[in-house]
Copies of this chain bind each other. A is one copy, B any other.
Amino acid sequence: MGCKTNDELLNLVTEAKKVTSYGHVADYIPALSKADRDDLSVAVYHVDNTCTYAGNVEKLFTLQSISKVLALALVLKDYGKDYVFTKVGMEPTGDPFNSIVKLETINPSKPLNPMINAGALAVTSMIVGKSNEEKFERLLQFIQQLTNNQAIHYCEEVARSEFETSWLNRALCYFMKQHGIIEGSVEELMDIYTKQCSIKMHSLDLAKIGAVFALDGIHPETEEKIISKDIARICKTFMTTCGMYNASGEFAIKIGIPAKSGVSGGIMGVSPYQFGIGIFGPALDEKGNSISGIRLLELLSEKYELSIF
């Protein structure tokens, strides 16, 4: 078992940073565009409750698409997998994460998996709660539990900015509303979804969530069983088959670490029974994944043989 000293990580971060100049910070959300392209931090949270890291691992960033896997875990807890998978499928797609085409061409209409935007919106629409506030509060508490950090909150500025510009996500929602996949107010769903995407944390928090998945749902600090082994397994499977947008297949072949990325530049990785990984590197490649984050995971996977395959 490796990856146990900060120096090892620092060397890999230094190497991985070389590719940041080939990436671009997401610019479609003003708040994201202010990020520093050259940032790269990584935290590795071991199942034995130790942590190694490199870079500024306390810099906050928003989860964006990483939140998809957490919302999925919550609704799987709420409803069980049988119901959840009547609303969203389990198949990877070869399409971009925001594509609407297959909602029309597949019969009956159903988002192919919960990691593409359509599927993630369907998942969020299932969060239990009497009001929109209660639904979001439940998600937030779940994430506070996963990080064992009550200070986790969302960034109002980013949430508002996304709420005011997410036309494509609204198109996906209305298409699914037409086909009975989601119900209720699209604006309310957009409100929760943009808040969910705007939940802030730092690499250390993110690594800790990864460690919960690495331990089949048990929190390494609190030893609490937060999610069942079955749900942890389902989430890791989706991270492997669909976690890195439409570069997931290549990532599985080359790196083989269950991982989920977001356009803020975050990546959460899982090395089962070893550790969780939290990365923040805001320069993105053309598929929307952190360019230096992927390079770092490639170096980690090679050095410590982390591929699950």
Measured CB to CB, the residues of A under 8 A from B are 89-95, 99-106, 112-113, 167-168, 170-175, 177-178, 186, 233-234, 236-238, 240-242, 246-250, 252-254, 256, 258, 272, 307-309
Q: Are B309 and A240 in contact (CB under 8 A)?
A: yes
Nearest CB of chain B from residue A52's CB, rounded to whole Å: 25
Chain B's closest residue to A251 (CB) is B90
| A256 → chain B closest CB, angstroms | 6
Give the shortest distance, in Å, between A89 (CB) and chain B (any CB): 7
Partner of A175, one of B167, B252, B256: B167
The CA of A246 and the CA of B94, in the complex, are separated in Å by 11
Indicate if the CB atoms of A89 and B249 lie closer than 8 Å: yes
How distant is the Cα of A258 from the Cα of B256 in the complex, in angstroms?
A: 13
**Copies of this chain per assembly:** 4
**Complex contact A105–B100 (CB within 8 A):** no
Nearest residue (CB) in B for A81 is B253
Are B90 and A94 in touch, CB under 8 angstroms?
no
* Complexed CA–CA distance, A253 and B85 (Å): 11
The reply to whether B99 and A104 form a contact with Cβ atoms under 8 Å apart is yes
Task: Please determine whether B236 and A309 come into contact, CB atoms closer than 8 angstroms.
Answer: yes
| In contact, B249 and A90 (Cβ under 8 angstroms) | yes
Instruction: Knowing A100-B104, A168-B174, A171-B174, say if A234 contacts B253 (CB, 8 Å).
Output: yes
Q: Which residues of B contact A250 (CB under 8 A)?
A: 89-91
Nearest-CB residue, chain B, relative to A238:
B253
Contacts of A308 on B, CB cut-off 8 Å?
Answer: 308-309
Q: Which residues of B contact A242 (CB under 8 A)?
A: 249
Q: Are B168 and A246 in contact (CB under 8 A)?
A: no
Contact call B177/A167, Cβ cutoff below 8 A: yes
A24 CB → nearest B CB, Å: 20
Chain B min CB distance to A305 (Å): 9
Residue in B94, B99, B104, B105 whose beta carbon sits within 8 Å of that of A93 in the complex:
B94
Q: A90-B252, A171-B173 are in contact. List 11 more A-B contacts (CB 8 A).
A: A89-B249, A91-B248, A91-B249, A93-B93, A94-B94, A94-B106, A167-B178, A168-B178, A171-B172, A240-B240, A258-B309
Q: How far is the CB of A118 from chain B (nearest CB, A)?
A: 11
Q: List, in ascending order, chain B residues with CB within 8 A of A249's CB.
A: 89-92, 112-113, 241-242
Known A-B contacts A104-B101, A233-B307, A233-B309; the reply to A92 vs B90 at CB < 8 A is no
